[in-house]
Homo-oligomer: A and B are copies of this chain.
């Protein structure tokens, strides 16, 4: 069966296609009400545009662009559907082979309980070292693509220009192989790289990265000695602005279930609905248990201690938020998502703060009993909900689970079970990190205004970089793509006139600049 799962990455890409700033805010009782100590706004233009020129490399990129595009197509034509174990090992070997061809001195497939990872080390003898994270797997494909074969990797004319339309085009093979094209061009011209590289690729991102820890485990000490980690990504809008989110929220995802048993209710199967007078109802218990966790509007969490763990916005984060608020366009976001208003009509800075700093409690799904047409009169024996909570920095997944369990027990819902499905903490990188400063400088060079957010409201297990490896982590880059996880996924290769997102050549050149900028950052 196809596993349907929305990764944080898909959200990142979806958001990049619409707007950059995710607003948020707070209003009600037990939610924290932080006072900002500064009204200063972070101005990305205050960081000088990257000044380095690498004309020989740029020329090599322009000359080899057809071959570079062919590399992207070669990656896209190799199926690698992790949920269906379709082409996975072939793709892992393809990645490893490409690293060897580029001159990586050390390349290895890393076996895990799941799909293999790929490790590569390019020792340039340089002062600085960058870890490059890659995912080589893709989502399954649906029926309704406008092209015949989502694995053909063909160019398609699109209103934004010429695009590569294929599964994995933007999520994530396109930008990843574009990055390696940039590496190739530098090595071709200069025989080496300005920084040492570690490539860590996994084949289970679309499954929630269950074995990523096992992929990096053999290399922990070496990776921790690096200067930062980077995940190539198309996060540019058609108007040229680029998202730079310096982290992600954490998450707990669990099933909450009430099932008949010793406490009451039907234990084995549904009974007739008229028996409700005598028999406890699992779905009513589930509904009551969930209801006990929020205010009646569903928007304030009543689990004791839940908000206390969240740390207040630092002054740096306040400046970033103030900067985001200058460009906030709540109406455009709301239209894109088909929402008439944010909660309680909030907007602007208030909405940004709520979005980034306030934990959520969300029902992803709930089901029990008869859900078909017409009437069936039953008292179901089991009721289940899929619930997630997004965790800002400070609120740890273990603590969140524990507080929810404690709350349910205190409210008398000992009979309601929690089945944890996923949980990891938030990740955040300082805007002052050399890698971040280098990225902003490169974006400024290309006239791509960075919209810098402390983190994204979505979740991804990027704590593996910021916490396990203790590295600054940047996910992003120039270039535009859309359709991750859906039909007609594409990456823009040649922008149409008036479209200000970078095409393939500029994307690759910006990666060249980033590597050089990182090699010099903090040492100029």
Using a CB–CB distance below 8 Å, which chain A residues touch chain B? 1, 3-6, 8, 11, 14, 22-25, 208, 249, 251, 253, 260-269, 271-281, 283-285, 287-288, 290-292, 294, 296-299, 337-343, 346, 351, 354-356, 358, 360-381, 383-384, 386, 388, 390, 411-413, 421-422, 456-459
| Bound-state Cα–Cα, A341 to B280, Å | 9
By a CB distance below 8 angstroms, the chain B residues around A284 are: 290, 294, 298-299, 361-363
| Bound-state Cα–Cα, A285 to B362, Å | 11
Taking a contact as CB atoms under 8 Å apart, the answer to whether B296 and A292 are in contact is: yes
Q: Which residue of B lies closest to A8 (CB)?
A: B274
Q: Taking the nearest CB of chain B, how far is it from the CB of A49, in angstroms?
A: 32
Q: Taking the nearest CB of chain B, how far is it from the CB of A320, in angstroms?
A: 17
Taking a contact as CB atoms under 8 Å apart, the answer to whether B1 and A373 are in contact is: yes
By a CB distance below 8 angstroms, the chain B residues around A360 are: 273-274, 276-277
Q: 5 nearest interchain CB pairs?
A: A284-B298, A291-B291, A365-B369, A276-B362, A276-B360
Q: Which residue of B lies closest to A459 (CB)?
A: B274
Q: Which residue of B lies closest to A362 (CB)?
A: B276
**Cβ 8 A contact of A288, one of B25, B298, B341, B370:** B298
Taking a contact as CB atoms under 8 Å apart, the answer to whether A370 and B386 are in contact is: yes
Q: Taking the nearest CB of chain B, how far is it from the CB of A15, in angstroms?
A: 8
Q: Taking the nearest CB of chain B, how far is it from the CB of A224, in angstroms?
A: 29
| Bound-state Cα–Cα, A380 to B412, Å | 28
**Cβ 8 A contact of A457, one of B208, B277, B290:** B277
8 contacts between A and B (CB under 8 A): A274-B360, A274-B456, A277-B356, A278-B343, A279-B343, A287-B366, A364-B375, A364-B378
Taking a contact as CB atoms under 8 Å apart, the answer to whether A294 and B288 are in contact is: yes
By a CB distance below 8 angstroms, the chain B residues around A364 are: 273, 369-370, 375-380
Taking a contact as CB atoms under 8 Å apart, the answer to whether A375 and B5 are in contact is: yes
Q: A273-B364, A375-B386 are in contact. Are A411 and B296 (CB under 8 A)?
A: yes
Taking a contact as CB atoms under 8 Å apart, the answer to whether B274 and A11 are in contact is: yes
Q: Taking the nearest CB of chain B, how far is it from the CB of A456, in angstroms?
A: 8
Taking a contact as CB atoms under 8 Å apart, the answer to whether B297 and A3 are in contact is: no
| Bound-state Cα–Cα, A363 to B367, Å | 11
Taking a contact as CB atoms under 8 Å apart, the answer to whether A5 and B374 are in contact is: yes
Q: A376-B6, A459-B274 are in contact. Are A287 and B342 (CB under 8 A)?
A: no
Q: Which residue of B lies closest to A457 (CB)?
A: B274
By a CB distance below 8 angstroms, the chain B residues around A372 are: 1, 4, 365
Taking a contact as CB atoms under 8 Å apart, the answer to whether A355 and B277 are in contact is: yes
| Bound-state Cα–Cα, A165 to B338, Å | 55
Q: Taking the nearest CB of chain B, how far is it from the CB of A421, in angstroms?
A: 6
Taking a contact as CB atoms under 8 Å apart, the answer to whether B376 and A342 are in contact is: no
**Cβ 8 A contact of A367, one of B22, B346, B371:** B371
Q: Taking the nearest CB of chain B, how far is it from the CB of A511, in angstroms?
A: 28
Q: A291-B291, A292-B296, A294-B284 are in contact. Are A338 and B268 (CB under 8 A)?
A: yes
Given contacts A277-B356, A280-B297, A371-B384, 4 further A-B contacts (CB under 8 A): A273-B360, A273-B362, A284-B361, A285-B297
Taking a contact as CB atoms under 8 Å apart, the answer to whether B375 and A421 are in contact is: yes
Q: Which residue of B lies closest to A458 (CB)?
A: B274
